[in-house]
Structure 1
Amino acid sequence: RVESDRVQVWLNGVKTVDYVQPEHTHPAVRQLSKGTFGLQGHDVLSKMQYKSFRVRRLPDDARSGLPAPALGAWHDSLTVMQGRQFAFIDLNPQGSFSAKELTDYFYVTGINLALVKSPGKAGSLKTAKRLPLFTGIKVNAGNVANVKAGIADYIIGESTDLPSARALLGSKKIDIWSDKGRSLATEEAAALLDLAKQNGVAIEIDNIARTPSIRVLKMAKEKGCTFTFSGLMPAGNMEKSIYVVEAIKGAGLDYKDLFIPKW
């Protein structure tokens, strides 16, 4: 549904897009204009099938009546990168947010998000049902052995020191490693990255802590690791830091280097 500066998209009954064009953007950022329906918007290797596709024209003077968001230069930078197929997904939001808050932020900014809970609160992930959110379970070295696969879209392991980092990476239970203990700043970085690659664990890039370093990210890319993002919400975080963009450019990451859970 397109009304002036607002675009809404539903897929199988789930609203996946509710975009209101920002009031002020950089000239390099594409604006809403005339165009065609894009049924296939990704690379040539991705596939999408439609059972039906119907179009109804709205009046030319239809207006959404919603105020245009003021997001700033950081959003322009992300929009340009998104145009190059980079998916900005916060798979480990830093803070306590409801499913509604996460969804509203996604609609405004275009940054995908996840509802993440501890194993003991996995039942509350049901609040994300029928919403365009990923779901995750966050574990540590103490409880990773008891976590069950399949209760969320992915499992993220958060380490606080070198022993817990080794335990999580060797557990064969996690999909993402969040290095809160700065183990990648030690001489063990190469060995830890080898373990991550061996077990198919993605490396989290923390936008707020600005970790891992560009040097370590280059090493991780050379070893064939994949990456995820954290700290992209709320907007104040992005106003203070766009380290995720710096990391992409500095480490020479490709959009295919990013880990995206199945949804």
Structure 2
Amino acid sequence: MGKTALVAWMMVVAALAGPAAGQVGDAAWLCLFDGRTLDGWKASENVGTFMVQDGAIVAHGARSHLFYTGPVEDAQFTDFELKVDVMTESGANGGVYFHTRYQETDWPRRGFEVQVNNSFAADPRKTGSLYGIQDVRTAVAEDKVWFTQHIIVQGNHVTVFVDGKKVVDWTATDRQLRGGTFALQGHDPGSTVRYRNIYVKPLPVLDFPIVDYHVHLKGGLTLDEAIALSQRRGVKFGIAENCGVGFPTTNDAALEPFLKQLEGRPVYRAMQAEGREWVTMFSPQTIAKFDYVFTDSMTWTNDAGKRMRLWIPSEVEIGDKQVFMDTLVERTVGILANEPIDIYVNPTFLPAVIADEYDALWTDERMDKVIGAAVRNDVAIEVNARYRLPSERFVRKAKAAGAKFSFGTNNGGNDDLGELAYSLMIARRCGLRANDMFVPKPDGQKPVQKKGLPK
């Protein structure tokens, strides 16, 4: 996606946001439908019933249900708020399911349906009904007009709003609400229902501001476009410059244009230190102009003298997996102990050839060594949305050890600047609170002389 396409996409999103616009500027709301494709959704039986048209999912055809199977919360929602914009044609029947799970055929047997029906005469249950449990008998919305269903589930309590009007208020007493995914209903060939602006706010909401500390101006993404996206999402961005061997920025003078560009703008100034040589390439005075510095352990030299970049398969020599892992941990501990960084990013990254063995290779002992080094050296650990790292087990151990954390997208270009869905999910699951999170030190409180830098 080029710059023109990105701006156009942002304008489309803004236009589609209509009745649900408030959720877009709140980082707690996560998008489940991109407005262009059915990525992250899976249809049952009659797949052709669902298509994307004019920024909406259109359900029209033989019975089918479209289940959310995407990455947000790993498609498992217990307590949440869900907002969906809906428009029905005359005589249409549909529905929005929650706490359900994928099944190949028939009406979903698990979960609950919030009815969509303004004029389907054969069923007296109208839009907003918690189907068969607490039914609405009078139409509260109209055909051919967009309306918003807002579903809130907390514990055993369910409330449903249609265009802001509460139509259902129900508490389960005879069964526990168990959690699950969402589904959209395609009811019958005579029904046409459109769904758009599908946003979820998993609960509980985190008690600290959401910041993406790991954003790059890549793939044509401009600073102005990044700021516009930051403001729409309600997420502050940290814009990072890649600095080190193999990158255009290799000395103090090369950093000045980047710093000048960010001067006075509503973003953090970040330095991504690349490779292990960077500590000899930049002065303490220039580094101190940044709000924070981060690096990873994806570039290092093995004991045989081979320089490896772990994300490039052709440059990686694994050999004995256990020896490789011990070397990776040793190099990581050295980076955390000796380099003047504030955040350790892309943590616990493994080359593609062994990534599937993550849980086995990242043993408790290896995790403890890395976590201990981060805590001792006051280095925060990034929860990375792009690579979905580190694991929940690692974060739980790090929290127990007193580590600090940050969130980061690490976008590869201008079209994958994510919503930090993985970061937010891990934070909720691990109980991260404001005092667990990294916050850059204000200007004037950052030390000019840091470890690892020449005087």
> Which TM-score applies when normalising by structure 1?
0.65
Residue in structure 1 matched with residue 393 of structure 2 by the alignment: 215
Given candidates 49, 62, 87, the residue that maps to 2:209 is 87
**Is 1:73 aligned with 2:199?**
yes
Alpha-carbon deviation of 1:99? 1.9
Letter of the structure 1 residue corresponding to residue 337 of structure 2: G
**2:273 pairs with 1:139:** yes
Q: Which residue of 1 aligns with 2:424?
A: 245
> CA distance change for structure 1 residues 258 and 138 in 2, over 3 Å: closer, same or farther?
same
Report the equivalent of 2:226: 102
Q: Show CA shifts across 1:159-201 (max 9, x none).
A: 1143442232011400000135526962311111100000000
Match for 2:424: what amino acid? Answer: V
Structure 2 residue matching 1:221: 3-state secondary structure: helix
- When the two chains are superposed, the root-mean-square deviation of aligned CA atoms in Å is 2.9
CA change 1:222–1:126 in 2 (3 A) is: same
Equivalent-residue separation in structure 2 for 1:139 and 1:246 (angstroms): 28
Contact 1:158–1:180 at 8 Å: present in 2 too? yes
Secondary structure at 1:179 match in 2: coil
Partner of 1:118: 242
Gap change, CA 1:138 and 1:232, over 3 Å in 2: closer
Q: Does 1:167 align with 2:343?
A: no
In the comparison of the two structures, how many residue pairs are matched? 197
Give the Cα–Cα distance (whole angstroms) in 1 for the partners of residues 373 and 426 of structure 2.
Answer: 22
Aligned equivalent of 2:382, options 175, 189, 204: 204
CA distance in 1, matches of 2:404, 2:297: 18
Q: CA deviation at 1:115?
A: 1.4
Q: Which is greater in Rg?
A: 2
1:23 aligns with 2:19: yes
Q: Distance in 2 between matches of 1:235 and 1:88?
A: 20
Task: Determine if contact 1:172/1:199 at 8 Å carries over to the other structure.
Answer: no
Structure 2 counterpart SS, 1:250: helix
Does 2:269 correspond to 1:152? no
Q: Secondary structure at the match of 1:189?
A: helix
Separation in 1, partners of 2:387, 2:292: 22
Q: Report the Cα offset of residue 232 of structure 1.
A: 7.7
Contact 1:205/1:211 (8 A) holds in 2:
yes
> Which stretch of structure 1 is more off in the superposition, 182-191 or 203-212?
182-191
CA contact (8 A) 2:329 2:370 kept: no
Q: Name the counterpart of 1:52.
A: none
Is contact 1:165-1:179 (8 Å) kept? no
What is the match of residue 39 of structure 1? Answer: none
1:128 aligns with 2:262: yes
What amino acid does structure 1 have at the position aligned with 2:296?
E
2:214 counterpart SS class: coil
Alpha-carbon displacement from aligned partner over 1:203-222 (angstroms, at most 9, x marks no partner): 01111211111110000000
Unpaired segments of 5 or more residues in structure 2?
1-16, 24-82, 84-149, 153-195, 244-248, 299-327, 351-357, 443-455
Q: CA deviation at 1:261?
A: 1.1
The answer (yes or no) to whether the contact 2:345–2:382 under 8 Å persists in 1 is yes
Give the equivalent residue in structure 1 for 2:346: 179
Find the residue that maps to 1:246 and give its secondary structure.
helix
Q: Alpha carbons of 1:165 and 1:94: their partners in 2 closer, same or farther (altered >3 Å)?
A: farther
Rounded to whole Å, the distance in 1 between the matches of 2:396 and 2:18 is 34
Cα distance change, pair 110–223 in 1 and its aligned pair in 2 (3 A):
same
For residues 114 and 23 of structure 1, the distance between their equivalents in structure 2, rounded to whole angstroms, comes to: 30
Secondary structure of the 1:165 match is helix
Q: % of aligned pairs identical?
A: 19
Secondary structure of 2:229's counterpart equals helix
Gaps of 5+ in 1: 1-20, 29-69
Q: Using a 3 Å threshold, how does the CA distance of structure 1 residues 72 and 113 change in structure 2: closer, same or farther?
A: farther
Paired letter, 1:86: F
Query: In structure 2, what residue type is equivalent to 1:214?
Result: E
Query: CA–CA distance in 2 between the matches of 1:215 and 1:228?
Result: 16
In structure 2, relative to structure 1, the CA distance for the partners of 1:249 and 1:22 (3 Å cut) is: farther
Deviation at 1:125, TM superposition (A): 2.3
- CA distance change for structure 1 residues 135 and 71 in 2, over 3 Å: closer, same or farther? farther
**TM-score relative to the length of structure 2:** 0.39
Counterpart of 1:190 in structure 2 is 368
Q: Give the number of the structure whose residues are more often strand, by fraction.
A: 2
Q: Counterpart of 2:314?
A: none
